[in-house]
Amino acid sequence: MARKKKGTSTSRICAVVIILVLAGTLLMNILFILSATSRGTYQEKEPKEYDDWFHNIPQMSIAPAAQYWKNEKESSLSREGNGLLSVSQSKYLDLEVFSSKENVSITINGKKRVDISEMLLRGMNVVVLNEVTGAVMSSRWFDTYESQEDSGYLKEFLTSLKNGRIICFAVKDEASFSLSKNTRMYIKSLGSVYINQLKWRGMWAFIVQRLGNRNIVYGESLQDAPDHNQWGRPVKLHTTVKLVAENIVNCEWEDSNATKRRREFCEKYEGYNYVCNCDNPLSLDFDPVPFRDNSRLRLPVAVMAGNRPSYLLRMLLSLRNVEGLDPSLVTVFIDGFYDEPASVAKLFQLQVEHHAGSGRLNSRICQVKWVGGCGEGRL
């Protein structure tokens, strides 16, 4: 009889425990549903967008798009009615910069000039426009998500730009993780208000021009990511930029064939500080020192290049230090029909060959066709 009571008591305890567990589970489910509903309602709200078109920055002159004019007789910006030319009298650019997880683009006067491509990858994309013609002088991307080295290259690139250039920034996917404090501070010095607020998977676009000692900010926009697992909403920045009559900086180099090549290159492309430096430009002589007996190695050298002209320049500068190299046997093979890397090679009067690329991105295959003493083949 005692055993029966003991068994009944144990059964009741088990039943109570089961009921408590079920009640606890039910309570947790209810709390989870309420939490999810609340979070869903929050995420349905429009993420806060930070737009800054006319913000005031100490010691910087900021003017509305298509509403500024630097009077040649004055050091300040004049408004329409005080020397400002109307849109019909002046040359303007209609610019739209787009930043998103999947794509970045810049549209100039209604024509999309930069879109999805193998050169527009994750990180910070920078497009530089000529202040006189509006032509694209440089289109670079820096993987400031993964590479701190790229963050340093970004700052180096920005500091190399000539005064007057129109600079457009756009984030693709993620650009904040390895973006260094020094690089952020430099972009802030250009007039950015939100670069220090750019966080994980945030989208950001910024258009600025430095005229003399002024920074003219045409627009800036930031979209924060709702949470760690999502991306910020796409950012679209639309503005108008007034072109100037002549280049802000004109270098006075000595007359020579090398200077002619340099001037043609620097009028078309940007971001080559050592080549286009006004005071102490890089020598364009590609003449490695010969061997001690004044001979050179008769060995053909094939340089493989894609559409990374700055990388090609670094490689060629290293190559010209190779003792005994015969420059007449150096050929740069470009994987695709890209003008800028070809122009870099021609700066040093090297032979250039183009060929159609096979594949895209990491699957790209570089092919070289050569003719040698034993016939024709592929490398």
* pLDDT-derived band at 36, boundaries 50, 70, 90: very low
Least confident of 14-28, 80-94, 128-142, 197-211: 80-94
d(CA 29, CA 257): 79
d(CA 104, CA 206): 12
Q: What is the pLDDT of residues 103-152, one digit of tens each?
A: 899 999 999 876 555 455 799 999 999 999 999 999 999 999 999 999 99
Opening angle at CA 107, ends 102 and 110, nearest 5: 135
What tokens appear for 354 in the block? 């183009």
* pLDDT-derived band at 35, boundaries 50, 70, 90: low
Listed by start position, the domains of the chain span 92-242, 251-284, 285-366
10 Å Cβ neighbour count for 352?
A: 16
* pLDDT-derived band at 67, boundaries 50, 70, 90: very low
Check: pTM over 0.75? Answer yes or no.
no
Least confident of 20-34, 95-109, 239-253: 20-34
pLDDT at site 14: 75
Q: What is the pLDDT of residues 77-87, one digit of tens each?
A: 333 333 333 33
1 or 234, higher pLDDT: 234
Please give the DSSP secondary-structure letter assigned to residue 315.
H
pLDDT at site 114: 66
In the predicted model, is pLDDT for residue 221 greater than 90?
A: yes
Q: What is the pLDDT of residues 251-289, one digit of tens each?
A: 999 999 999 999 999 999 998 888 998 888 999 999 999
- The arithmetic mean of pLDDT across residues 86-105, rounded, is 80
Helices (H), the chain: 2-44, 148-160, 181-189, 257-268, 273-276, 309-319, 339-347
Burial string for 257-282 (b: 16+ CB within 10 Å, else e) reads ebeebbeebbbebbbbeebbbeeebe
In the predicted model, is pLDDT for residue 9 greater than 80?
A: no
